[in-house]
Amino acid sequence: MSKKPLQFTLNGDSKAVFVEDGQNLLDVLRRGVGDLSPKYGCGQGTCGACTVLIDGEPHLSCLTLAETVEGRSLSSTGGLAQGADLHPLQDAFMRHFAAQCGFCSAGMLMAAKALLDRNPNPSRDEVVEAISGNICRCTGYEPIIDAILDAAQSGTGRRSA
Amino acid sequence: MSISVKTFASSAEAASALSSDRTARFMGGGTLIMRAVNEGDQSFNAIVLANDPALKQVQPQGDRLIIGAGVTMAQILASRDLDFLHPVARAVGGPAIRNMATVGGNLFAEHPYGDMTAALLVLDCQVTLAGGQSSALVEFLRDRAREPRALVASVSIIRPQSGVFRFKKVSRVKPKGVSLMTIAAWVPQSGGRISGARIAYSSMGPTPMRVTAVEQALEGAALDEAGIGNALAAATSGIEPPTDSIASSWYRKEVAPVHLKRVLLER
């Protein structure tokens, strides 16, 4: 199996790795560059646990052919906190008990970040729509929606990371 | 399985590569092909990509619109020219899927997917391949199983006048879920009577389909509860819907007239 060089930016840091033909981006992020924040849930595009931002837009990394992100800018949940300082969305998730098992949180946070970056004052319906591709099997979604609205209302959800 | 990836600058070169390698599949947004790769699909061992900007374009052409096969659902939602398709694009997955899923890919989506294809079926869709050959979408879908590797360059659809085009995706999961059935309708009226209606379903058979029995029953009828009675009675005439984890064939047949009525009368 041939390998190809791939360069991209992840959470502001330049990354250079070799990828296998057909390898998906999630695999490259987790095994190639060691970012374990995006999760492998279904591998079918159903659960959203692997959501990352590519040039600011949410994408499912498990369905993204790795070599198509050459030269692009990626953001994952691993880059949200600044040292010990949580991102306002992470802080709101914690305060609203929006994570129980936590497996969906990485994808939920990136879907929410994409929304607040584009729309700092979303309605409840817009939040529901933004996370409509992300499945949570613990919370019943309400604490997650409340957390995202809280981060938006505090005016800090838009902080870039 | 070893998979090779070949990237080409033009869709013509990509089509040539596809035709010379029967183990190759074309990848647009990746939501179908990468899913197959993740599932260990052994039916192909090469992925062909095309970085052709023409695949991403939307162009008006008289009373029609040419939509590149690589146009994503998110692009449709950002296009004023395609505002009548916004409810359709919004019905496809969440924001991440919509940033990836393409119009061309939707033509190849297996049951229970293909919501956009149902809409295109009633918009007089013509499918143009990278080689320039063109065919009606109905014929394209009929031949799809025989030639699953065609590289679609664009689709051409008619731009509907206000109120003629309707769309509804029925799902048991809110706000988003897999389709139980999707209905698209083109219901033009002349002198208070329906004339030239087109009705299409997806998730009611192996591929999205035109529902000619309903179309015939609507011809000349008034668009009101009494007028559409025969069409509702014919809602599943000649159709044997699939049974899957979403619904049984029996259930799909039972609810089809209810949802068809809601679409036709916009309730």
For residues B94 and B148, state if they share a domain: yes
Q: What's the number of domains chain A is made of? A: 2
Domain with A52, as residue range(s), is 3-79
For residues A99 and A123, state if they share a domain: yes
Closest by Cβ to B96, choosing from A21, A51, A68 = A51
CB spacing of B96 vs A44 below 8 angstroms: no
Tell which of A35, A58, A79 closes a domain: A79
For residues B132 and B175, state if they share a domain: no
ipTM score: 0.94
For residues A75 and A108, state if they share a domain: no
For residues B60 and B149, state if they share a domain: yes
Residues 100-129 of B with CB under 8 A from A: 100
Q: What is the radius of gyration, based on Cα positions, of chain A?
A: 15
Q: What's the number of domains chain B is made of? A: 3
Q: Where residue A107 sits, what CATH number does that domain have?
A: 1.10.150.120
CB spacing of A132 vs B35 below 8 angstroms: no
For residues A108 and A145, state if they share a domain: yes
Whether A17 maps to a domain, the answer reads: yes
For residues B147 and B58, state if they share a domain: yes
Chain B residues with CB under 8 Å of A64 CB are 30, 34, 100
Query: What is d(CA A115, CA A130) in angstroms, rounded to the nearest whole number?
Result: 6
Q: What percentage of chain A reaches a pLDDT higher than 90?
A: 94
- Is the predicted pLDDT of residue A158 greater than 70, yes or no? no
A129-149 pLDDT per residue, tens: 999 999 999 999 999 999 999
A9-48 pLDDT per residue, tens: 999 999 999 999 999 999 999 999 999 999 999 999 999 9
For residues B12 and B69, state if they share a domain: no
What's the whole-number average pLDDT of chain B? 95
- Does residue A120 contact residue A127 with C-beta atoms inside 8 Å? no
- Is the predicted pLDDT of residue B241 greater than 80, yes or no? yes
Domain with B141, as residue range(s), is 53-158
In chain B, which residue's Cα lies nearest the Cα of A27?
B38
pTM (predicted TM-score):
0.95
Q: Where residue B176 sits, what CATH number does that domain have?
A: 3.30.390.50
In chain B, which residue's Cα lies nearest the Cα of A4?
B5
Q: Is B46 helix (H, G, I), strand (E, B) or coil?
A: strand
Reported as a pLDDT band with limits 50, 70 and 90, residue B145 is confident
Q: Is B48 helix (H, G, I), strand (E, B) or coil?
A: strand
Q: Is A133 helix (H, G, I), strand (E, B) or coil?
A: coil
